Amino acid sequence: MTETRKPLLATLLGEATWPPPVWLMRQAGRFLPEFRALREKAGFLTRCMTPDMAVDITLQPVRRFGMDGAILFSDILILPWAMGQSLDFVAGRGPVLEPVRSLADMERLDPGRVAQAVQPVMETLKRLRAIVDGPEPIGPAQPGQVTLIGFAGAPFTVACYMVEGHGSREFEETRRLAYTDPEFFNRLIDLLTTSTADMLCAQIEAGAEAVMLFDSWSGLLPPSQFRQHVIEPARRITEIINTRHPGVPVIGFPRLAGIMAVEYGQRTGVNALALDTGADMKTLAEKLPATLVLQGNLDPIRVLAGGEGMRQEARAIRDAMKGRPHVFNLGHGVIPTTPPEHVGDLIKTIRAV
Ligand code: CP3
């Protein structure tokens, strides 16, 4: 008997499966009433750091819709928090951190604390892996079908929040410091590169079957800095993962990179390139090696809007990628006000071939 591989994992390793596997960025989150109910009970960091809750939240969307992937419920800012930077999630404002803006500020961070501090996250992954590989179906997902995805923020995006101290449209202070104090900024990127690689390897050791690197703000950088602070760190992180855990696929998401996504796909060594809403996947596909898996990229607002328009566009993206390894996903996270029925309808549409 030949062993049937999990569809998402097989695709991330280069197989062109049909219909494509599907999961959604930010699928574990506020658009689900069962997530909002837990939110009343505990703060965000508590939810991330309590394995019972994090396991439950990770599986909520899979139980409802049977996605091919379950993405760990956590956050990209857990890494700076684990190094000792103060972090708070303030309702209506998002994350608030004590800014790190100099070598002296950086000295106060301790990467040696990370492994211990993220222990609950590893426990969550361990339990999740036992569940996804267990004998029970998870909602409509059959046993042995769901791939467990770990993740981290990419160094540049995490540096944006660490330096700025909060979300921003432009991250001006971060980008200014990259020019005026390159010694500090390069060392911060370096520290994040090694600690992110270590954390992703720990996630793999705990049970993650694939990992994703979110570079949500990479598109803010000009090409020279994009090469230095986005491509080079992603290349180093992928190389470390490939060395320590050969065969575990890495997904890179250089959001808003435009044409620089091509160079990212060619030079980082990632197995899969996640594309944002603005990317013309077909045009980019022609410029990229046929072995590079593409992931994306339906407009999250299309899912908020729903209906026949959503179904048509979802099919168009799926069909345009037929014949090459493609993971269906959105171009960015699910919008919190999205009606859950629209997500159910989307998953069904992708699978109806
Ligand atoms: O379902 C999933 O995708 C898994 C969990 C996940 C979260 N954040 C949970 C979360 C993932 C993969 C992330 C990644 C993340 N976090 C990114 C990169 C992806 C992206 O969206 O660009 C970034 C930039 C962050 C930082 C962050 N975390 C912000 C800016 C915020 C506040 C704004 C927002 O989107 O809510 C968070 C909080 C956060 N992370 C929530 C969730 C479910 C909301 C917390 C709550 O209010 O309950």
Going from the C-alpha of 254 to that of each of 15, 91, 258, 318, the distances in angstroms are 23, 27, 9, 21
The DSSP bridge pattern shows strands 94-97 and 250-254 to be: unpaired
**Which amino acid residue places its CA nearest to atom 20 of ligand 1?**
216
**Does residue 318 have a known ligand-binding role?**
no
**Which amino acid residue places its CA nearest to atom 36 of ligand 1?**
94
Ligand 1 atom with the smallest distance to the CA of 74 is 5
pLDDT band at 2 (very low <50, low <70, confident <90, very high): very low
Q: Are 21 and 9 in contact (CB under 8 A)?
A: no
pLDDT digits (tens, 9 = 90+) for 177-190: 999 999 999 999 99
How many CA atoms does the CB half-sphere of 266 hold within 13 Å?
A: 11
pLDDT digits (tens, 9 = 90+) for 302-330: 999 999 999 999 999 999 999 999 999 99
| pLDDT higher than 50, residue 64 | yes
Find the helix packing angle between 155-164 and 182-206, rounded to 10°. 120
Q: Are 138 and 61 in contact (CB under 8 A)?
A: no
Task: Give the pLDDT score at 1.
Answer: 44
Residue 56 annotated among the catalytic residues of the structure: no
Residue 93 annotated among the catalytic residues of the structure: no
Check if 25 has its Cβ closer than 6 Å to any atom of ligand 1: yes
The DSSP bridge pattern shows strands 147-153 and 210-215 to be: parallel
pLDDT band at 280 (very low <50, low <70, confident <90, very high): very high
Ligand 1 atom with the smallest distance to the CA of 91 is 47
Torsion angle in degrees (nearest 10) through CA of 160, 165, 166, 172: -50
Nearest to 255 by CA among 44, 57, 76: 76
Which of 5, 30, 129, 311 is an active site residue?
30
Q: For the beta carbon of residue 245, count every other beta carbon within 10 angstroms.
A: 16
Residue 264 annotated among the catalytic residues of the structure: no
pLDDT > 70 fraction of the chain, expressed in percent and rounded: 99
Q: Of the residues 24, 59, 75, 256, which should be mutated to test ligand 1's pocket, given the most ligand atoms within 8 Å of the CB?
A: 75
**Which amino acid residue places its CA nearest to atom 11 of ligand 1?**
75
| pLDDT higher than 90, residue 236 | yes
Going from the C-alpha of 183 to that of each of 102, 189, 351, the distances in angstroms are 9, 10, 50
CA of 81 to the centre of ligand 1 (A): 14
Domains of the chain: 7-351 (3.20.20.210)
Q: Are 185 and 159 in contact (CB under 8 A)?
A: yes
Question: Residue 174 phi/psi, 5° resolution?
Answer: -60, -50
What mean pLDDT is predicted for residues 18-27? 98
Q: For the beta carbon of residue 132, count every other beta carbon within 10 angstroms.
A: 24
